[in-house]
Amino acid sequence: MSAESTASRGAQIRQRFRTWRGDRPFWAGLFTMLGGVPIAYLPYGDMRLGNVTLAMATTAGAGALIIGVLLITLGLTMWFQPIVRVFAGVAAIILALVSLPVSNFGGLVIGFLFSLIGGAMSASWAPAPPIEETSGAEHDGQPEAAGETEAVVATGVPEQREGEQQMTETTIDANGGRNSAG
C-alpha cells in the first residue's frame, strides 16, 4: 500500500462524511446530544473536592435521566432520520425547558442551553436545494437564438390590457367603490 493511496482514501472518507453531514442537521443533533449528557448525568454524579464529596442527588433523578436519554435519542434521530427534524427540534426545545425545574436547572444550565440551541437549529434547518446537472455540452449563459430571449420575456410578464375593465358581480354591486351601510 503506497502513501498516495492511503491519502486519497482518507480524502474520500472525509468527502463522504462532509456529504453525509451536509444532508442532515448534523450540528443540531450534536448540540442536542451534548445537552442531554449533563442533564442525565448531573443528578447522579458526585464531585470530590479533596475530602469533601458533593452529591447532586435530587428526588427527580429518574425524570432527569429520562429527559437526558430522550434528548440523546432525539439528537440521533436528527442525524439518521432528517425528515422528522422539525418534530425532533420542537421536542428537544420542550424537553430542554422541562429540564430546568426537573434536573438541577437543566444540567446546571449547560445542558439546557445546548439542548435549546440544538432544537432550534433542527427546527430551522432546511436541506440545500438540489444541484441541477446538465447533460451534454455546457451552456455559456448566452442565448443560442434571438427567439429564446423573447420567449423568456413573454412568459415572465403578462400583457396589460388598456381600457378594458372586467366586470364581476362584486364590482357591479360595489357602485364604484362606495358601499352603503344600510
Per the domain annotation, does 104 fall within a domain? yes
Per the domain annotation, does 35 fall within a domain? yes
- pLDDT recorded at residue 113: 95
7: confidence class by pLDDT, cuts 50, 70, 90: low
Output 109-112 pairs: Cβ under 8 A, ≥24 positions apart: 110/35, 110/38, 111/34, 111/35, 111/36, 111/37, 111/38, 111/39, 111/42, 111/68, 111/71, 112/35, 112/39
Identify the residue whose cell numbers are 440545500: 128
Per the domain annotation, does 144 fall within a domain? no
Specify the number of domains making up the chain.
1
Our measurement of the distance from residue 42's CA atom to the centroid of its chain's CA atoms, rounded to an integer in Å, reads 28
* Residues spanned by the domain of 92: 28-124
Q: Which residue has the higher pLDDT, 156 or 58?
A: 58
On whether the CB atoms of residues 40 and 68 are closer than 8 A, the answer is yes
- pLDDT recorded at residue 93: 96
For residue 159, what is its C-alpha cell?
400583457
Q: What is the pLDDT of residues 96-133, one digit of tens each?
A: 999 988 887 777 889 999 999 999 999 999 887 877 77
Per the domain annotation, does 62 fall within a domain? yes
- pLDDT recorded at residue 179: 60
- pLDDT recorded at residue 50: 84
Q: What is the pLDDT of residues 30-83, one digit of tens each?
A: 999 999 999 888 877 777 888 887 766 666 678 888 999 999 999 999 999 989
Per the domain annotation, does 93 fall within a domain? yes
Report yes or no on whether pTM surpasses 0.75: no
Q: What is the C-alpha R_g of the chain? A: 30
Residue 137 per-residue DSSP state: S
pLDDT at 145 over 60: no
Per the domain annotation, does 99 fall within a domain? yes
- Residue 77 CB neighbours (<10 A): 20
Q: Which residues, including other chains, have CB under 8 Å from residue 79's CB and lie 6 or more apart?
A: 24, 25, 26, 29
Q: Which residue has the higher pLDDT, 147 or 135?
A: 135
